[in-house]
Structure 1
Amino acid sequence: MLEDAPMTAQDALAALMIAVSASDENIRTAELVKINSAINNLPVFSDYDLERLPRMSRMVFSLLEQEDGLEALFGLIRDALPERLYETAYALSCDVAAADGLIVGTEVRMLEEIREELNLDRLHAAAIERGSRARHMTL
């Protein structure tokens, strides 16, 4: 039954975080901890069924292996995610990307893609990015 269940808004947020982590083909522990922390602590995930997470992971990994998989993933995310959560989705994506202290290469490109796909205002996106950087600074 779960495999046939449509993607929820929470699934879309989780899938996007997983996609950001997997974008550089090196899923780091810090990124997994950030995803887990978000799902366990943020109000948007308060009633999320954690049993759905492995399904989202499999779906993301499968799509990212396909030629047009990223476009398909973005389509699923846009269909499931209400527009009022687009900035939340981008903030979660930035936090996952920043979790290991370095955003370079494919992660930068993935964040650009997410910004474009969600049609985020550039100024709002910059503020979200700056907040993520500030939260993930080290001494």
Structure 2
Amino acid sequence: MPLAFQDALIQLMVATASSDVDISQLELDRIGTLVGRLPVFAGYGHDGIAVAANRCADRINGPDGLDGALDEIIAVIPERLHDTAYALAVEVAVVDLDLPQEQLRLLEMIRDRLAIDRLTTAAIEVAARARMRRP
């Protein structure tokens, strides 16, 4: 079955969350919240999240590994949604206020594959940090 762009967006978020080995409950909750609230996921059922997450794990653990999984996932995302895809990945990465090297490296890989300009990625990253800032 071909990958739908909404599934690809979810898989990108799951790949980001799992890049530091453990997916935290905060990351899972954020993915669910984003899928439930954002217009890009309109009409997408919450039950599809688990299916997309499992397929992502299968892709990453498959013969082509993370690089192949990212290539497959990003190939499905329409160019007009590349900045949205990066924003979703960053949102999941920053939710637990801990950005280990693995996640930073994955975000760099995603940014490069999506070919988003540096000004846009910097704005997305600054906005995400601002939303997560604590007093």
- Give the TM-score taking structure 2 as reference length: 0.93
Q: Deviations along 1:102-127, whole A, 9 cap, x unmatched?
A: 21210101100000110110111011
For residues 37 and 51 of structure 1, what CA distance do their matches in structure 2 show?
13
For residues 14 and 100 of structure 1, what CA distance do their matches in structure 2 show?
18
- Deviation of 1:50 after TM superposition, in Å, equals 2.8
What is the number of residues matched between the two proteins? 135
- The corresponding residue for 1:97 is 93
1:132 pairs with 2:128: yes
- The corresponding residue for 2:11 is 15
- Deviation of 1:37 after TM superposition, in Å, equals 0.5
Instruction: Report the residue type matching 1:82 in the other structure.
Output: P
For residues 79 and 111 of structure 1, what CA distance do their matches in structure 2 show?
16
Instruction: Report the residue type matching 2:29 in the other structure.
Output: V
For residues 138 and 29 of structure 1, what CA distance do their matches in structure 2 show?
19
**8 Å contact kept, 2:36–2:46:** no
Q: Deviations along 1:44-90, whole A, 9 cap, x unmatched?
A: 10111333222211121122224632222222222311000000000
For residues 92 and 69 of structure 1, what CA distance do their matches in structure 2 show?
21
Structure 1 gaps of 5+ residues are none
Give SS of 2:16's match.
helix
1:29 pairs with 2:18: no
- The corresponding residue for 2:65 is 69
Q: Deviations along 1:5-62, whole A, 9 cap, x unmatched?
A: x111111110000000000011111111110100000011011133322221112112
- Give the TM-score taking structure 1 as reference length: 0.91
1:80 pairs with 2:68: no
- The corresponding residue for 2:47 is 51
Flag as ranges the 4+ runs of structure 1 deviating above 6 A.
none
**8 Å contact kept, 2:16–2:107:** yes
Residue identity over aligned pairs, in percent, reads: 38
Structure 2 gaps of 5+ residues are none
